[in-house]
A and B are shown apart, each in its own frame.
Chain A
């Protein structure tokens, strides 16, 4: 499976994502934000970090960058686009995904392991995933997902909520919600479920010496579904 990771000025999880993708067998390439086009890919990843210094609003300037039109075209033609953390913020700013990411409820940056519940498996990311709850890692200041009532209803009606913060046993409530996100939302799809944005970082959880290895399941599953 061919993948491309876009590097914006200020991206800082680009290398981590490259390492993770290659580890599981993706043929990955790095693409600079000022490039006009993206090499032939089956998956485009917008990595975490602070693109353009988070100036104006997180993800806002990246959503107007030169490369982004190619990303939007690719998404609209059904290609897989994955945005992690700042990548998720960029995707909401482009309009590919609904809603916004506000500052965390307690106003602090949070770096911590979290559990997320996989809410929908009828998609190319989570189909046949062996677990229902994954242990992943978050590191963000603006991960508090919010959207209007109408948008929320349509997300729910179309099963576009991808993952939600929960406890180890899958309980979703206020205490298992690290940042105040509406309905504990940690990640969502677009209508076609080819675009996924999520705050947790699977690329930081890819071997047992790190914070955990559930990220491995995530990447392997994308590959398995592609075959």
Chain B
């Protein structure tokens, strides 16, 4: 078949891109070659709209062993231990087929991590759905949660934390971001850079089928009315095979047989082979007749584009084939030598003894298009002037109950009860806390991880929003007693060809960069998901930050539950009462305008270090950061978790109680202090010149504030715990 411009456009390429391909090749590509170009040049694989801006990110730090550009980032956590981690999106497939879309998202990210030689030790996820009232939401939520559980539970990796939000902007495009952390000896990390000539290229794992063809192209386009037709582009996962693949790969990695290894993720065999060759500055020759296929009469085109799951490509030391095959035989997995490395600097494909494609590698990788897309700055909205008289009609206790049962604040136990969060026997902080924590097996260390995003803030002012999520991640780690080390990010945005969306992306990245630089909290891995748009309606900008921190002695981990009657409760950090963009403004005043809370990076760092210092000196009994919903929401969660109440002191002077209790100012923590520690705590707070308020005392079985609030813990728990379950059962 003669390849025409129309066929190229069908493959998601632009007219100009097709001309460029013909020009670079000095001929028209055949259909297989066109497919390879379309897979490598699409947004998902080439980062063509984002690359220019991602380059500016802060990616270096003392503890960074590997930054962006590999299968996952790697950080040093002392001794010989390193943590490999990354977050990735699987948004488009999950909307079309929630169970398989979410499941294979989890499978894909775990492969990215064990490809580097690490055993996965924790999974996290950040999932975002349309309005609860939207007809698709309930089933999408059920399917996604089942899919995440179905895959992670089977592999036997605990899911230790997550985030779930609802917003109408996700009605046509849900977001499913999955994150995995793995543990590796820092001297035994495996990379994807091929090296050496004539080395055997090995295919291992599942057989190749026709599933997932054009998956990466689908993730690089917007949705229309015909999305149901895209179901065949969703991959089907088999966690059992992945578990075998994990064990087999780790077994083979125990010696020195592997030169390079890469999982076959988006764009399958195409992107894995091209990436390994490109990084090693080599050529690669593949005999596609040797690829283990699940279906009959698969063509080179299909083999190269298939996104069948649970497959790996390995460049092996010569002579190690038999040794490697034995291991894969033991685990009942396919093993085939399908090619070799060459010095041609081309990818050459053979099928039925005929050469069916030949493309210089640099055309696919370095010469892939880069766009400097036009973008528009978002102005900081004007701060609103609230009519405080209107507040007076609102009863504080009613406001609190309403906020606690808000879909984005309410307890998500129904979700994480379906995830195995205790397998591997090292989970010391389960989902539902500020961050999940797992021990580094057999040591005194523990690793904390959290996922965060704030689409409302990012939508209102992307630059501030970008900064805010990095700070939120930082705070969540500190709240469990961990020193923040590094982050991974999943940048979910609308259509980059629209100036507004592109501007949201550019400014969020700028915000993330500024904050991560200031807080010495570098980005070590990540992924970009554009085109989250259906029929012209895009999502709110939703960059997700996955933060990782270290607790050097796990016995010093903090939790948020109130511990002991009579202990004092402090708010560390200053409360100005910023209500614009708060849950209070939305839920109770129906006000959606105004700027997000200001982010002051100096305060964020200084206050964070203060709290960390307090926790290292064992001076605080419990800790929780103040975020969505403000002080009252945070303190209610501490009451519910600890099954203990609080008596809140009268506010000073002219402070407006609504602003004080529900304002969403940044850089604040609530801590519980034993009286015996008070003197030392005050010394440290004064040393760092940190503002604090004496909020109250742990007391009784209710939350009480003057005559305004007297709610029992059961009432709080009722409001907080049952929204989601009721919603699902309806």
Contact = CB atoms under 8 A, between A and B. Distances in A.
B241 to A, nearest CB: 8
B422 A209 contact: no
A139 B153 contact: yes
A106 B146 CA distance: 13
Interface string B134-163: 000000000000100110011110000000
B418 A12 contact: no
Interface residues of B, number: 33
A139 B422 contact: yes
Interface stretch (A50-58, A73-81, A88-96, A127-135): A50-58
B204 to A, nearest CB: 15
Contacts of A50: 153-154, 156, 239-240, 243
B457 interface: no
Interface in B219-278: 238-241, 243-244
B332 interface: yes
A108 B421 CA distance: 15
A43 interface: no
Nearest to A13: B423
Interface in A27-57: 48-50, 52-55
Contacts of B425: 15-16, 19-20, 203-204, 206, 210
Nearest to A141: B153
A168 to B, nearest CB: 13
Interface stretch (A109-117, A145-153, A182-190): A109-117
A210 B422 contact: yes
B409 interface: no
Contact of A9 (B244, B419, B421, B555): B244
A12 B243 contact: yes
24 contacts: A10-B154, A12-B154, A12-B156, A13-B423, A16-B423, A16-B424, A16-B425, A53-B154, A53-B241, A109-B149, A109-B419, A109-B420, A110-B417, A111-B153, A111-B416, A111-B417, A111-B421, A112-B417, A203-B425, A204-B422, A204-B423, A204-B425, A209-B555, A210-B425
Contacts of A54: 154, 240
Interface string B382-420: 000000000000000000000000000000000011111
Nearest to A201: B422
A201 B420 CA distance: 12
Contacts of B243: 9-10, 12, 50
A139 B420 contact: yes
A150 B227 CA distance: 53
Interface string B530-559: 000000000000000000000000110100
Given A9-B331, A10-B243, A49-B156, A211 B422 contact: yes
Interface string B416-449: 1111111111111010000000010000000000
A137 interface: yes
A111 B239 contact: no
B428 A209 contact: yes
A201 B422 CA distance: 10
Interface string B153-183: 1111000000000000000000000000000
A136 B436 CA distance: 21
A62 to B, nearest CB: 12
Output the residue of B420, B425, B428 with the most chain A CB within 10 A: B425
Given A9-B331, A50-B239, A55-B240, A210 B428 contact: yes
B523 to A, nearest CB: 31
A209 B445 CA distance: 13
Nearest to B419: A111
A111 B422 contact: yes
B423 A9 contact: no
Output the residue of B155, B417, B422, B426 with the most chain A CB within 10 A: B422
B417 A108 contact: yes
Contacts of A53: 154, 238-241
Contact of B418 (A48, A108, A137, A210): A108
Interface in A123-169: 137, 139, 141
Contacts of A55: 240
A109 B418 contact: yes
Interface in B681-708: none
Interface string A57-71: 000000000000000
Q: Which 5 A-B pairs have the closest CB atoms?
A: A12-B156, A53-B240, A16-B425, A139-B420, A50-B154
A111 B418 contact: yes
Nearest to B425: A16
Nearest to A209: B428
Given A108-B417, A111-B422, A139-B153, A52 B428 contact: no
Output the residue of B155, B240, B421 with the most chain A CB within 10 A: B240
A140 to B, nearest CB: 9
B184 to A, nearest CB: 16
Given A53-B238, A53-B239, A12 B155 contact: yes
A132 B428 CA distance: 26
Contacts of A203: 425
A71 to B, nearest CB: 21
Nearest to A178: B417
Output the residue of B239, B423, B555 with the most chain A CB within 10 A: B423
Contact of A13 (B154, B156, B439): B156
A203 B156 CA distance: 14
A13 B420 CA distance: 12
Contact of A15 (B154, B419, B424): B424
Nearest to B429: A209
B153 A109 contact: yes
Contacts of A209: 428, 439, 554-555, 557
A9 B332 contact: yes
Contacts of A201: 422
Contacts of B439: 209
